[in-house]
Amino acid sequence: MATLGIHKDFLLEFAKLEKPVQKRVHEVFDKFRKHRHAGLHLEKLEKSRDPRIRTIRINQFMRGVVLAPEVGDSFLLLKVMPHDDAIAWAVKHRATVNSATHGIELRDDVALERATAGIDALPGDRPGAADDTRRLFGGVADKDLIRLGIDADLLPLVRHLGTEVHLDALHKVLPEQQYDVLAGLAAGMTPEDVWREVVAIQLEQRSAAPRETRAPRTESSAAPVEQDEFSAAMARSQGRIALVSGPDELTDILSRPFDAWRIFLHPSQRKLAYRSSYTGPARVTGGPGTGKTVVALHRALHLAQQLPADAPDESILLTTFTRDLAADLRSNLELLIPEPALRAKIRVVNVDALANQVVREERGAPLALLAAQKEILNRWSRTAQRLEIDFTDVFLDQEWRHVILAQDLRSPETYLKASRSGRGAALSPLKRAQVWRAVEAFTQELRRADEWTFLQVCAEAARILQDRGGDRPFRHVVIDEAQDLHPAQWRMLRALVAPGPDDLFIAGDTHQRIYGNRVSLRGLGISVAGRSTRLRINYRTTKEILTWSTRLLADASVDDMDGGQDSLAGYRSAYRGARPELGGAATKPEEITGLVTRISEWIGTGVAPHEIGVAVRYVQLGKDIAQALEEAGIPSLVLGASAAAVEGVRVGTMHRMKGLEFRCVAVAGVSDTVVPMQSALTPEEVDPQQHREDLMGELSLLFVACTRARDALRVSWHGIPSPFLPEQVTA
């Protein structure tokens, strides 16, 4: 049967072409798809390593590269490049089948031969030499490397690699799957880990391949692909190759080339999102940009597809922390699920808005919300003064949120006995009684004015839903950015769906917790034991930006919301790029001038203003930067203040940057008095533990801001740099 495959690289290159060229590429391949008999239009290249790698003319300047077996009508679109580059690429590469996964891979034969010959020329530096154990893969046996799919002819080269930098240098020439295996081993994973996470996961996808094509290849590595197994191997290459079912799908894929996430799920992502069912709550974790949101979106799609035919609309909830993030989820869901009827099965709304709706419907009247934290603290202050008790506004507010609301304590007796773990200063029974009096006075004042804080609304919504018992509004709940949710929000989410298979699907990363809400899922009756998986490949950020940003958290200890510790072990990027740029200035105006210059340079290299994000710690600095940009003739908009559709550099607070991404990111004002923001820190003398957690929150905020960058990151400050920045910056 005819098969057309599109390699991920093809789509990425296609995405960067000018619109008229894209149109032409589409025309060429559409025509090619219709009339592909006898290799129509395809040109063979002299001296090519693989005669089945051929090129096709797009226009005077561009060529496509296609892998086309001589017999049969299966084709794989590999590259679309300027003419000379396409020819050079096509003659050097060879398509082979990976001996472990049986999927197609591409190797730069010429570069690999050259690199291997270089080693042969070095006497006494062969594998097995005395210093072998000091080499990058010195501790891994040949048989393990072979079992993991490393080609036998590459072993001498692999054995010779001394550091990760050497491995990186081979990133573009090694077959991708084999690079992934080696990168996993180099990152400290055991061969068993790599087998499970890189190889087995790909093998499992074989069950999705057409039945007649499942027989695995037995002979070893680096043998060329025979045409009879060609479409089978394409089907086994999910995550890198998308099979196109017909002209409509080709048009759909090519019309949205930037949204590769819709089609090219990594096997580890696909396994999580499309597992037919989980016996209970399931969770996906992973560092920034590993595709947690993508997995959550695909999971929502899968659950919608599995619903019985008579399931009402909005049977599934897809939710997240803020209104803006919910809006992003909604527009991505429209891309992923074009059919309105299927999409209607999923309701997308942020947690607070949903809580508000639950309480409003129960009361039959809208709620007056007390949202400003400053006003809340003022009221605590007044309450403490009136009752003549010696607690600060910050302490009372935190005690109320982190202990009383968190545990849903409703009487002085329960509060007296409650655990205050996570809070620093011990409280005697007398002090607890004083706190309770303050809480009663504070909440009474709110009640009298019929005002609510967001968390109170969530706590009330949870109570309403729990009291309703069996009548649950949703069949499935999918949660993104879970690390920032408060226990009251979790209680509401828990009560929205009956406990059972596929009740909750949770995506989050505790390294990005920026609102100080710590929870134990188990304590909330949500057990993800045996159903929690960490993603490790970053699809957003370059390795250079990732390494730099991850180093910010080097000394931090981060919980996993489930009684253990989370880590970024094995976290790595799929892309390479320039190192982050760091710059200090003497004064704020000087820093802003430098920033404006760099932004105009980015724009000069073809980056659109809306592809640039500027993250700051406080709103006024953002406004100052936006004004300086406008004065320099660069359009800008302050996030949250202007319509999102307006063209311009996006300027926003670090909090507002959460969940977003940009080609170029500037994090500005990273000075010692601003990052960490002193007013966001509980004074150490009030509560040392809370002080440490607030510091961690500020550090995570900087981490979140830096990891929004896809291609370029610039971090700047004026005066003394933030203590969070690595020491070499300050030197």
Q: Among residues 137 and 264, whose Cβ is nearest to ligand ATP?
A: 264
Q: Among residues 173 and 273, whose Cβ is nearest to ligand ATP?
A: 273
The nearest distance, CB 291 to ligand ATP, in angstroms, is 3
The nearest distance, CB 532 to ligand ATP, in angstroms, is 15
The nearest distance, CB 298 to ligand ATP, in angstroms, is 10
CA distance 86 to 64: 7
For the chain, the maximum distance between any two Cα atoms, rounded to a whole number of angstroms, is: 91
Q: Among residues 288 and 487, whose Cβ is nearest to ligand ATP?
A: 288
Which position has the token pair 């990891």?
A: 707
Rg (CA), the chain: 28
* Residue 600 phi, psi dihedral angles, 5° rounding: -70, -30
Q: Are 98 and 178 in contact (CB under 8 A)?
A: yes
CA distance 688 to 677: 17
The nearest distance, CB 264 to ligand ATP, in angstroms, is 4
The nearest distance, CB 511 to ligand ATP, in angstroms, is 9
Q: Are 667 and 615 in contact (CB under 8 A)?
A: yes
Q: Among residues 181 and 514, whose Cβ is nearest to ligand ATP?
A: 514
* End-to-end Cα, the chain, rounded Å: 64
Q: Among residues 22 and 549, whose Cβ is nearest to ligand ATP?
A: 549
Q: Among residues 145 and 507, whose Cβ is nearest to ligand ATP?
A: 507
Buried b (16+ CB within 10 A) or exposed e, 248-284: eebeebbeebebbbbbbbbbbbbbbbbeeebebbbbb
Q: Which helix (H) or strand (E) holds 540?
A: strand 537-542
Q: Are 480 and 320 in contact (CB under 8 A)?
A: yes
Question: Distances from the Cα of 628 to the Cαs of 11, 92, 426, 587, 652, in angstroms?
Answer: 37, 49, 49, 15, 14
Q: Among residues 137 and 261, whose Cβ is nearest to ligand ATP?
A: 261
The beta strands (E) that lie in 597-656 are given as: 612-616, 636-638, 649-653
The nearest distance, CB 481 to ligand ATP, in angstroms, is 7
* Residue 235 phi, psi dihedral angles, 5° rounding: -65, -25
What are the tokens at 728? 């070499």
Q: Are 517 and 495 in contact (CB under 8 A)?
A: no
The nearest distance, CB 641 to ligand ATP, in angstroms, is 22
DSSP states of 225-250: PPGGGHHHHHHT-TTTEEEE-SHHHH
What are the tokens at 402? 């982190």
Q: Coil, strand, or helix at residue 503?
A: coil
The beta strands (E) that lie in 36-115 are given as: 53-57, 62-67, 74-82, 93-97, 104-108
The contacts of residue 371 (CB under 8 Å, 6+ apart) are 453, 454
Q: Among residues 5 and 289, whose Cβ is nearest to ligand ATP?
A: 289
How many other C-beta atoms can be found within 10 angstroms of the C-beta atom of residue 646?
Answer: 12
The nearest distance, CB 392 to ligand ATP, in angstroms, is 34
Report the binding-site residues for ATP.
Answer: 286-293
Report the binding-site residues.
Answer: 286-293
CA distance 642 to 538: 30
Q: Coil, strand, or helix at residue 409?
A: coil
The nearest distance, CB 285 to ligand ATP, in angstroms, is 9
CA distance 713 to 303: 37
Residues that bind ligand ATP (CB under 6 A): 260-261, 264-266, 269, 286, 288-294, 509, 512, 539-540, 659, 661, 707
Long-range contacts, stretch 35-41, CB < 8 angstroms, 24+ apart: 36/2, 36/68, 36/73, 36/75, 37/73, 39/68, 39/70
The nearest distance, CB 266 to ligand ATP, in angstroms, is 5
The nearest distance, CB 334 to ligand ATP, in angstroms, is 14
The nearest distance, CB 707 to ligand ATP, in angstroms, is 6
Nearest to 233 by CA among 13, 71, 74, 89: 74
